[in-house]
Structure 1
Amino acid sequence: MGADTMADVLDVAVDRSAPIPLYQQLVRFLEIAIDRGELAPGDRVASEIELARLAGVSRVTSRRAIQELVDRGVVVRKRGVGTQVLHRSTARETTSPFDLFGGCGPRPVTRVLDFRVGTPSDDVRRDLCLPVGAKVVRVKRLRSVGGEPLSAMVNWLPATICPTVHELETDGLYRLLRSRGMHIGLARETIRARVATRDDAVLLAVEVGSPLLSLRRTAFDRDGRIVEIGLHTFPAERYWYATALPFVEGARVEITCRAE
């Protein structure tokens, strides 16, 4: 599908009054077209200039939207060809660590250590794409299995969707959100290694200086809205992380390594 017909396919009337950033609105418009089959695998996506013209936004905004889809593995940039659709954007529903137990083995036990409702910092508000003055819940939990601490979790959610303390101690966060009709469609995660501080050692029953895995997750609903930000910390010897990496011929892969 060429750029000449994209205007007929995509409804790119962005809402500048909405709290959702313009680039995320563009991402969602493209995802809808891909999910509906209006943009099929192999079809060329409009260039940054073409998309900016169709949507009436800056080239910086359109570039960020396309890069978001590249990062999600929905489209790929090919030299001399342009940006092409790889596959449908919605592959499966993202799960939380609580869901992974699936009723097998000891049931995880969750204890809420802190639950605060208030005005977030500017960084958290921007990360959640909320307007100034919106209320956010910061909840800190400790999850254990068989009496052994498995993870310490801090989550930030809009106050309008956050479950209660009692609910959070009896079920997983994403399962609770699903029960409210809110389904997590995608999450972006950053995983890094660090060593345990004194506070970590007390909370997770490990030695100071022990290796930990730190996972930062930003979860999106099926409409591309940010639902929550989570920071989870795991003792390295009690948790491992595995993923399948599909390889696409001609795809451009960027790897960044940083030592601290």
Structure 2
Amino acid sequence: MKLNNSISTPLYGQLKQLIKDAILQGIYQQGERLPNEVKLCEIYGVSRITVRRAIQELTEEGLLVRKQGKGTFVMRTKLARELVSVDGFTDFNKQLRKSPSKRILVCEEIKASPEIAESLRIAINAPVLRLVRLMFMDDYPFTLDETHYSLERFPDLADHFLENVSTYDVLKNIYNVNMSSASTHKIITVVPATGHEAEYLDCEIGDTLFNNDKIVYDENKVPIHTSNFKTRTELIALTITT
């Protein structure tokens, strides 16, 4: 696929448009790594300077993203998430017609710290289930989630958690918690990714993450669980309806 030297549009501009068209046509898909500079030179018959200029401009426009040591990738389209929503991850994926999956990283009984005890309105050192999961959307790591539940309120809760079972379905069907009437208290900040978080979320150390701390309450305003989840800011746009 050779470019045209005889027209007024510079070669880097022509290459930039060809790559844009390839993204729109699905030749280069969201999240996919582009061929390296040498391969792009071969495909389009241009110099590395031309390739670098085109890639740089597409990166500045937000169509591509460079990951150190990994290459250049097509940027994923941001997904809109209602700020006040209490929907679980599974329901969120269903709304978007995405395929959710989960990997349980930690599932353990711990003693409630003063902070957790206050949030769940239980005694310090009371038994708590700590659940840490990596959430995938269409096989792509989307959210790192850490949740705490009172085991006095939800005994044997860990026995019902499987890799791809909705926790909200478990709470509704086994513990008779009405999630449709639940409410939340959220605090959202932006934080840099740690090495641990970057490893799981497929990003660079220091990349910005939405840090969402929340407490979910039942219809009687009694805490159901606390949750902290982190998502790359480039993947999601938080919305609010007033």
Q: TM class by shorter-chain length? A: 0.5 to 0.7
1:135-166 C-alpha deviation (Å, 9 max, x unpaired): 10111000012221000000010114263366
CA contact (8 A) 1:112 1:165 kept: no
| Paired amino acid for 1:179 | N
User: Across the two proteins, how many residue pairs are aligned to each other?
Assistant: 154
- Answering whether residue 213 of structure 2 is matched by residue 216 of structure 1, we say yes
- Answering whether residue 186 of structure 2 is matched by residue 194 of structure 1, we say no
**Distance in 2 between the 1:176 and 1:199 partners?**
29
> Of the two, which has the highest radius of gyration?
2
| Paired amino acid for 2:164 | T
Question: Greater shift after overlay, 97-106 or 175-184?
Answer: 97-106
CA gap of 1:206–1:145, structure 2 versus 1, over 3 A, is same
- Answering whether residue 109 of structure 2 is matched by residue 108 of structure 1, we say no
For residue 214 of structure 1, report the CA deviation from its aligned partner: 0.7
Unaligned runs of at least 5 residues, structure 2: 1-83
CA contact (8 A) 2:178 2:218 kept: yes
Question: Secondary structure of the equivalent of 1:176?
Answer: helix
- Answering whether residue 80 of structure 2 is matched by residue 98 of structure 1, we say no
**Distance in 2 between the 1:169 and 1:241 partners?**
27
1:40-85 C-alpha deviation (Å, 9 max, x unpaired): xxxxxxxxxxxxxxxxxxxxxxxxxxxxxxxxxxxxxxxxxxxxxx
| Paired amino acid for 2:166 | G
1:200-238 C-alpha deviation (Å, 9 max, x unpaired): 110100011111101111010111111100000001111
Runs of 4+ in 1 over 4 A off after TM superposition: none
**Distance in 2 between the 1:168 and 1:217 partners?**
23
- Answering whether residue 114 of structure 2 is matched by residue 122 of structure 1, we say yes
CA contact (8 A) 2:129 2:148 kept: yes
Question: Greater shift after overlay, 219-228 or 236-245?
Answer: 236-245
CA gap of 1:116–1:98, structure 2 versus 1, over 3 A, is same
Higher strand proportion? 2
For residue 172 of structure 1, report the CA deviation from its aligned partner: 2.2
For residue 93 of structure 1, report the CA deviation from its aligned partner: 8.5
**Distance in 2 between the 1:208 and 1:158 partners?**
33
| Alignment partner, residue 161 of structure 2 | 167
CA contact (8 A) 2:102 2:135 kept: yes
Q: CA RMSD, aligned part only?
A: 2.1
CA contact (8 A) 2:160 2:170 kept: no
Unaligned runs of at least 5 residues, structure 1: 1-91, 246-260
TM-score by length of 2: 0.58
**Distance in 2 between the 1:144 and 1:103 partners?**
15
CA gap of 1:208–1:123, structure 2 versus 1, over 3 A, is same
- Answering whether residue 178 of structure 2 is matched by residue 183 of structure 1, we say yes
For residue 195 of structure 1, report the CA deviation from its aligned partner: 1.2
**Distance in 2 between the 1:93 and 1:236 partners?**
18
| Paired amino acid for 1:244 | T
CA gap of 1:143–1:93, structure 2 versus 1, over 3 A, is closer
| Alignment partner, residue 238 of structure 1 | 235
CA contact (8 A) 1:99 1:175 kept: no
For residue 171 of structure 1, report the CA deviation from its aligned partner: 2.1
Question: Secondary structure of the equivalent of 1:175?
Answer: helix
CA gap of 1:106–1:244, structure 2 versus 1, over 3 A, is closer
